[in-house]
Amino acid sequence: GINMDYIKTEWKKLGGMGLVGVGAFLILEHIYTYGGLDLWDLLGHEWLGIVLVLVGILTANRWGALRMKEGLALVSSKVNYILGRD
């Protein structure tokens, strides 16, 4: 039969990454348009972007099962590879 748990997990990951992408776009668009972030404007779309990124990360990582050490190690290895330090 169809493994529904696997399908739900994949949709959570896809949805989470979509939220991260939209949130990052809002943050970058604000930086590009206004030359920075206005964090004092609590209803601004930079805050919406930050919230979307955080919710997306939590969703993609099964609501709080964050694996920070592995994630940071992966990011660090990718940065070192890009910079030619490996």
Over the stretch 13-70, which tens digit does the pLDDT of each residue have? 788 888 888 989 988 888 888 888 777 777 777 888 888 888 888 877 754 444 555 6
Tell me the mean pLDDT in the region 67-84.
65
86 belongs to a structural domain: no
- Give a yes or no: residue 66 inside a domain: no
Question: Which of 34-63 are b and which e, b meaning 16 or more Cβ less than 10 Å from the residue's Cβ?
Answer: eeeeeeeeeebebbebbebbebbbbbbbee
Q: Is there a domain that residue 13 lies in?
A: yes
What whole-number distance in Å separates Cα of residue 21 and Cα of residue 5? Answer: 24
Instruction: For residues 11 and 62, give the distance between their C-alpha atoms in angstroms, rounded to a whole number.
Output: 11
Within a domain: residue 24?
yes
In a domain, 15, yes or no: yes
- Record the tokens describing residue 53, joined without a space: 């990124």
Boundaries of domain holding 35: 4-61
In the chain, the number of structural domains is 1
Q: Which pLDDT score is estimated for 64?
A: 45
**Which tokens sit at 22?**
């939209």
Label residue 73 by pLDDT band (50, 70, 90). low
pTM of this structure: 0.61
